[in-house]
Amino acid sequence: MKNKEEGLRSRNWFGRTGKDGFIYRAWMKGQGIPADEFDGKPIIGICNTWSELTPCNAHFRELAESVKRGVIAAGGLPVEFPVMSLGETLMKPTAMLYRNLASMDVEESIRANPLDGVVLLCGCDKTTPALLMGACSVDLPTIVVSGGPMLTGKYQGRDIGTSDIWRFSEANRAGSMLQEELLMAEACMCRSRGHCAVMGTASTMASMVEALGLSLPENAAIPAADSRRKVLAELSGRRIVGLVKEDIRLSQILSPQAFENAIIVNAAIGGSTNFIIHLLAIAGRIGVPLALEDFEKIATGVPLIVNLQPSGQFFMEDLYYAGGIPAVMKILSPRLNKELLTVNGKTVEDNMKNTISYNSEVISSLEEPINPQSGIWVLKGNICSDGAVIKPSAATPRLMVHRGPAVVFENIEDYKARIDDPLLHVEEHSVLVLKNVGPKGYPGMPEVGNMSIPKKLLDRGVTDMVRISDGRMSGTAFGTVILHVSPEAAVGGTLAVIKDGDMILLDVPNRRLEVELTTAELNERKKALVFADMHQRGYTHLYQKHVQQAHLGADFDFLRGCSGSEVGRDSH
Ligand code: FES
Ligand code: MG
């Protein structure tokens, strides 16, 4: 147990005498904090991604108040601080461009300030990985509190969620849903505070956090509007003080075995393909070796047991009422590392042992799964020598082995200009190829990989096609979509030289993705490649210069690893 004599980190600020102590304390006292608050209480930072430009996190000031109550009750001093917030829906060209920037903000804010422990308030997609990446590079005692999912949307007597956006927009393009109906649906979908209610990236990230042992049990699924979300926040505030006293840091929770648990849980819940990119980046920060291939190896044989959109039918609210992630982990327990310590001081086993699935339609058994195929599979071949990914539970089974001619879009503008052109030379068996939407190419690797079905095929009732890109897709999306092709087109990957009519071979059972061209032909074409100019100033310049490829988590090369929490010098 730590006490003030043994030296909390914050004592290097507030425990000082003379000029330095005066300066460190005086301005804090200016906020109306009594003198004895600085007598050795653990100082708990509440890292808040509240922003009205991040609607999924717009309730976080209130959530922070609950955390504060818990910190105070346990004898700590809470201090809330803002970091860059990343709103998935509003930020252009993509929130992903700024994940690494936000992670730098978080890392430096935590290290530079007199904090003994941190509560990370995360919600919308990129806020969770950004905050965790930054926190891992400092490695203080840390707990995550997620904002929780929205209540299920209700439209014309049925349940809807973010995955319906893709269905509705296709219906609108096909003429079966009018603009007025779209407007009505749009008003019916986001019924409450919280993030997307399907198993999109935000829910995936919240589930990841819980599976890693970085939150209190049930963190992932309690709806944002449910009073128990606030209870969880307050209890997390209490617990972070204990975690500081016990000096349990992120690196003690984030063992390689914890990463294995997260990968197994992600497969079982049908988590987003973005899980791979973010977990790779987090592993890189905390120093756990993890490769793209591990995602499939570790989850081999894990079926889909959670029936949530986009792979299934239901919503996060249903998952919570059915028992949440603890019930999922209980069913997966033969596969999990159960002895691991989690942030509440208990083991994985302790946290799940008293739970059951209350609804087998939502959380099934291993014996009768929702889908025997699950997880995220890694493809290799001459198109993707460093890998590409596909989410089989969201794909069409008959397209998993497919040979067809490429219809190539050189970039996003080319795609947007021609996808609905009645003269576009495309058939149902064509393979849509989109280039230059990777980390360096776009830049920022946006969620555009689930290209729309060309209008003329949509009119014929085609609902899925093989689509390939170096981009990502929303965790809420679905289809036979091959993503994260690495190396990307913008760095001279094979994708860059694929032309209209080249035959593409997809063989998911054998994990192959090939273009039927010889190495000599590919090399010849690559010689003629001309690369687009990179940005010359600002953050985008830094990003394009230092971002790593998708199979390495798209983190900056210079951000891998941890610099610890020590700061040697004072401010004055
Ligand atoms: Fe924020 Fe979906 S837009 S979670
Ligand atoms: Mg998204």
Among the listed residues 242, 212, 215, 250, the one whose alpha carbon sits nearest the alpha carbon of residue 340: 212
Question: Ligand 1: does its nearest atom lie under 6 Å from the Cβ of 148?
Answer: no
Per-residue pLDDT, 5 = 44
In 3D, which of 410, 423, 396, 392 has the Cα closest to residue 497?
A: 410
What pLDDT is recorded for position 6? 59
With a 6 A CB cut-off, is 125 part of the ligand 1 pocket?
yes
List, by residue range, all CATH 3.50.30.80 domains of the chain: 377-533
Among the listed residues 311, 352, 68, 54, the one whose alpha carbon sits nearest the alpha carbon of residue 210: 352
- What is the CATH code of the structural domain delimited by 41-151+192-352? 3.40.50.2300
The confidence score (pLDDT) of residue 7 equals: 81
The DSSP code for 387 is: E
Which of 56, 91, 122, 166 best tests ligand 1's pocket when mutated (most atoms within 8 Å of CB)?
Answer: 56
DSSP 8-state class, residue 95: G
What per-residue string of b and e applies to 315-326 under the rule 16 or more CB within 10 Å gives b? bbbbbbebbbbb
DSSP 161: -
> What separation in Å is there between the alpha carbon of 474 and the centre of ligand 2?
4
- Ligand in nearest proximity to the CA of 224: 1
Tokens of 447: 């969620």
Which class is domain 377-533? alpha beta
Phi, psi angle pair for 544, to nearest 5°: -65, -30
β-pairing verdict for 466-469 and 431-434: parallel
pLDDT at position 568: 87
Q: Which atom of ligand 1 is nearest to the CA of 54?
A: 1
Q: Which residues of the chain have pLDDT under 70?
A: 1-6
Residue at 327: amino acid letter: A
Instruction: Find out whether 13 and 26 touch, Cβ atoms under 8 Å.
Output: no
Ligand 1 centroid vs 190 CA: distance in angstroms?
10
Q: Which of 125, 124, 112, 122 is nearest to 143 (CA)?
A: 122
439, HSE (Cβ side, Cα atoms, 13 Å): 26
- 280/8 Cα distance (integer angstroms): 31
**Complete DSSP assignment for 194-225:** SB-SSSSHHHHHHHHHHHHT-S-TTTTTS-TT
Return d(Cα 501, Cα 560) in angstroms, integer: 40
Radius of gyration of the chain measured on its C-alpha atoms:
24
CB 243 within 8 A of CB 1: no
The tens digit of pLDDT for each residue in 142-169 reads 999 999 999 999 999 999 999 999 999 9
* Packing angle, helices 179-189 and 163-174, rounded to 10: 170
